Amino acid sequence: MAVKNNIKPLFDNVLIKPLEAEEKTASGIILPDSAKEKPQIGEVMAIGQGIVDDGKIVPGSMIVKVGQKVMYKKWGGNEVKVGNEEWTIVEQKDILAVVG
């Protein structure tokens, strides 16, 4: 499933658009950009065709779907710029959970 700018992840990679970082704390303190923690939850924008084993794509190897909200490892993946936005590409194994 491709997205704008024709980005199509390969193999079992997943393109994720991170949710916006919180603007303020639970107690109402407004955070400057330098103090905002990057979210670990985002929306799946595109997925690869799946795991390749012995030169063939393994059917059903992609569990996540475009449009799902997922939680992914904090230090996993690669940040990429799509237009003016920063997105993340992770391997499917670095996705911890489907949210909601």
**pLDDT at residue 39, as a whole number:** 65
Q: What is the largest CA-CA distance in the chain?
A: 54
What's the chain's length in residues?
Answer: 100
Q: Would you call 6 helix, strand, or coil by DSSP?
A: helix
Q: Tell me how crowded residue 89 is: count the other CB atoms within 10 A of its CB.
A: 20
| CATH class for the domain made up of 4-21+30-99 | mainly beta
Structure tokens at 83: 């237009």
Residue pLDDT, tens place only, 53-98: 998 999 999 999 999 999 999 887 899 887 888 899 999 999 999 9
Q: What residue ranges do the domains of the chain occupy?
A: 4-21+30-99
Single pTM value for the model: 0.77
Report the C-alpha gap between 69 and 75 in whole angstroms.
Answer: 18
